[in-house]
Chains A and B, each alone.
Chain A
């Protein structure tokens, strides 16, 4: 992974005028994607993320701002130059958008038609692409005969036909079941590693981002409200919306609901505290719970535990009840913070937690 910017969006505004109404779909957004990134753009539907990425290949012309892809000022290109530039920016869609009247091989061949390759070269290329996405045996089938996951693989093969350096994925897994979603994400990850493909992944599912992205931007109402590396965003989300997305992805929300119910029954006294411990990286391996007991005699009973591996970095979440003398609890608390563990006191009953 280099730090060379391959996509640079600067101060992008997109405004739609429909029937006297003005909609600011994208408001003053700047975004830089480096070569080799898998950049996730997360947001609820209507947040403007699809509109934003359509600006990259000018399927959507921005009202204001500049777009640079591979050093080319996309907005200044003449139609012919734009078409040439688009061959280097692949795109896949939520509803696959395959041509029903063409066979799988013909769909993949479509972007090569009218190009410089001979018929034989095109056939080799199509065979190679179908092999890459694992659909060689479906070459002469029609899209209607394929499952959703297979259709998306065909769409990926088509998007890669002209050897693009960038792949834009517009909610490409949103219409797929979880298992198929994983396999498509794995394929994208593999293409990223093997071909050095830069991927911009739009989604409303943080799970998808969690699985393959190295960077994330969170969009809301046309603006990017938070951005950073995957590990930073997951370990220290700042915006409530980001936390929402992350909690949904880690399923900590469901766990908390149950724990609160349980905590009410436990009837925690002065000597007990319900806390959440979060730690990143190596600390995951250090025997924190044991240390707390050895040093302070504080007993921690684990109610919930989860470790995510993000970009090879472990990210742990524990919810425990700590029991001990009040001053020992305070000391234990300080010790956790010294160790770089984020510790949050959870108050039972509907309190806001991270």
Chain B
């Protein structure tokens, strides 16, 4: 512990703050991942099935989804946080705090995830879809038994990517009042010139990111039977 006390003189006194901040980061990440995951998955599937040549081709729906995703994706997250504050207040009653951060986080990450899902599902061989149609499969069966099954390895890889970028976003949301490790690193470590706090917060985030990447890679490799 002496090594730790020597190089992290401020952080060592803030054990409970770090535990709380890590918990907040997990809380924001988990809830956003669930909500944005469902939303993004639905939009991504919607894009793939309604696209020209898709199994439920529908130009109007495709264009609306496509434009919506592009629109949300082009707004820088820091600005998005401020712009949708009224909406956040409407949904959770306040624009400040960990729970309030979930609203902009969902809006910031769901479109990104939708695009990732769309790309992952676009990799599913069209011939396989055609084969499924030829044995009498309907759209629902093709979505669940072909697209999601055949695209699973890529879906896992995309989910890992989205989750990691989501942790990035939680740090940013934290910095403007959402709490979590980002808040600790910036509002405590950076503002008070206690750079050891900033570095420790960063290290914890790195460990979380590496862990997610490792688990994701293992899972993806397990379900991938292409080679």
Contacts and interface: CB of A to CB of B under 8 A. Distances in A.
A110 B223 contact: no
Contact of A95 (B127, B141, B223): B127
Contact size range, B: 20 to 34
Nearest to B135: A111
A18 to B, nearest CB: 11
Residue of A59, A100, A111 with most partner-chain B CB within 10 A = A100
A38 interface: no
Nearest to A114: B141
A243 interface: no
A57 interface: yes
Interface stretch (B17-25, B90-98, B143-151, B166-174): B143-151
Interface string B191-227: 0000000000000000000000000000000011111
A342 interface: no
A86 interface: yes
A91 B132 CA distance: 10
Interface string B125-140: 1011011111111100
Interface residues of A, number: 32
Contacts of A85: 136
A93 B134 CA distance: 11
B225 A101 contact: yes
B134 A57 contact: yes
A101 B223 contact: yes
Contacts of B138: 79-80, 83
Nearest to A83: B136
Nearest to A142: B225
Given A100-B226, A114-B141, A144-B226, A86 B152 contact: no
Interface in A139-171: 142-144, 155, 158-159, 161-162
A98 interface: yes
B220 to A, nearest CB: 12
Interface of A: 57, 59, 79-80, 83-87, 89-91, 93, 95, 97-102, 110-111, 113-114, 142-144, 155, 158-159, 161-162
